[in-house]
Amino acid sequence: RKEVEQDPGPFNVPEGATVAFNCTYSNSASQSFFWYRQDCRKEPKLLMSVYSSGNEDGRFTAQLNRASQYISLLIRDSKLSDSATYLCVVNGGSGYSTLTFGKGTMLLVSP
């Protein structure tokens, strides 16, 4: 089983749609969790951290289920500018201080 698994997509959605991405991780000792966003040929950038209680930032909601080792990202009211690859990232997987990345889920938002 891969350390961090994501559905690669692509997810094709119209503007205004709600879309959800899921991610599972294998190491139960993982410490912290993030969603990064990567635009084509650009570097990854932090979108949001994921907290145990769940957290929301505008149109984005992240959830963590430690028992199931599962993380989710919900995007409401999708915008064209949301088109990107969303990377599930886990800290404390292979090493305490290292970030372990999923392959990413591609989102394409169309007019």
Partner 1 sequence: EAGVTQFPSHSVIEKGQTVTLRCDPISGHDNLYWYRRVMGKEIKFLLHFVKESKQDESGMPNNRFLAERTGGTYSTLKVQPAELEDSGVYFCASSQDVGAGQEAFFGQGTRLTVV
Per CB under 8 A, 42 contacts partner 1: yes
Size of the site for partner 1 (CB under 8 A): 24
φ, ψ dihedrals at 99, nearest 5°: -95, 130
In the block, residue with structure tokens 């709600």 = 18
In the bound state with partner 1, the residue whose beta carbon lies nearer, of 11 and 35, is 35
Q: On the CB side of 14, how many CA atoms lie within 13 Å of its CA?
A: 0
Per CB under 8 A, 18 contacts partner 1: no
Q: Which residues pair with residue 24 across a beta bridge?
A: 5, 70
Q: Which one among 22, 32, 69, 72 touches partner 1, defined by CB under 8 A?
A: 32
Give me the count of residues in the chain. 111
In the bound state with partner 1, the residue whose beta carbon lies nearer, of 31 and 65, is 31
Indicate the SS3 state at residue 81.
helix
Per CB under 8 A, 99 contacts partner 1: yes
Sign of CA dihedral 109, 12, 10, 25: positive
Footprint on residues 78-97 left by partner 1 (CB under 8 A): 87, 91-92, 94-97
Binding site for partner 1 (CB under 8 A): 4, 31-32, 34, 42-46, 49, 87, 91-92, 94-104
